Amino acid sequence: MYPDLFYCDFSKVFIKNQPVDAYLYHLIQEFHREEITNLRTLYIGGGTPTALTADQLEYLLKELTKSLDLSQMEELTIEANPGDLDPDKIAVLKDSPVNRVSLGVQTFDNRLLKKIGRSHQEQDIYDNIDRLKLAGFDNISIDLIYALPTQTMEQVQENVAKALALDIPHMSLYSLILENHTVFMNRMRRGKLPLPKEEMEAEMFEYIIQEMERAGFEHYEISNFSKPGFESRHNLMYWDNAEYYGLGAGASGYVDGIRYKNHGPIRHYMQAVEEGNARVQEEHLTQTEMMEEEMFLGLRKKTGVSKKRFEEKFGVNFDQQYGSVVEKLIQQGLLVPDKDIVRMTKKGLFLGDTVAEKFILE
């Protein structure tokens, strides 16, 4: 379930006037149809599932986990919107196998929160995190966005300081990316969205890395920072280009070499589940596409891509495939010289998409 964000292009679903109970029932039907019994990670997100009532949340968690071998489950994350987590919902989470909570904070600035269409306020962030800690949750993450409209370096510095003061082990910090069909994109096209200049955005990124590392966080992925042992195992699976199920309206998955997407609108999704197939599109990846994705995703990690693992996975010589590309990027200061691992420099991390594009095979 999703709040109305001005900058996201996710499959949005609003709680009011929606058949929430029926949707949850169909989601569980899709889940059981896959006959899943072993998962290393489970991530309940895509928005704010905590917009559900406590009873609905309890139903969802029980139905999703009752057939799983929980001894194999390393991480079960749920996303939450600050302000949604009342004592009843936290009690539900505490009595469930959930062991990680990710809060969509975005910014501590009440004025900016309103400007980007968020319903919570700064105090809600502190209240929710205090409640979670009191309930025994120690694996808490927050999302922050920088380079927001009118945002200054001083505001970013204040955000980082407030985030570090929370004493939590994981943070994701993303620069604002404008998506089509969003309020912000429409404003930008009309020249009414005052965003920080690219040079300022780069300075913000450098400052964030510096302060997070100074505070003992590992910059383990372009946008993610963690204390040792608290990396997001679920997200690392994405960046390792592993396969995963995507369940629910508008969800995307990657199974048996097929990337797929489910029907988005709730009623279309429920009808599709009833007809036996929730998917609306499928893409069978070629080996070339798989190799490209291995590089796109793996380069996001600080540890980069192992040439040996690449060769074992795809049965091709890495240097013959990408040697000249890597050499050029090293000369440009975007990759670290390393005979075994392909990984980006700090300069490369800021230009991540530009670097990744070089690994598209003609």
Rounded CA separation 214/218 (Å): 9
pLDDT at residue 150, rounded to an integer = 82
Structure tokens at 360: 């598209």
- What's the pLDDT tens digit per position in 55-70? 999 999 999 999 999 9
**pLDDT value of position 149:** 82
Cα gap 103→112, rounded to integer Å: 17
Structural domains in the chain plus CATH codes:
36-239 (3.30.750.200), 303-357 (no CATH)
pLDDT at 46 (0 to 100): 72
- The predicted pLDDT at position 177 comes to 59
| pLDDT at residue number 115 | 82
Position 9 scores a pLDDT of 38
Q: What is the distance between the alpha carbons of residues 127 and 80, in angstroms, rounded to a whole number?
A: 13
Q: Residue 256 has what pLDDT?
A: 95
- Across the 362 residues of the chain, what is the mean pLDDT of every consecutive 10-residue run? 34 62 96 94 87 95 95 96 93 97 95 86 96 97 91 94 98 74 49 67 94 97 96 96 95 96 94 97 96 96 96 97 97 96 93 92 82
Please provide residue 89's backbone torsions phi and psi, each rounded to the nearest 5 degrees. Answer: -70, -40
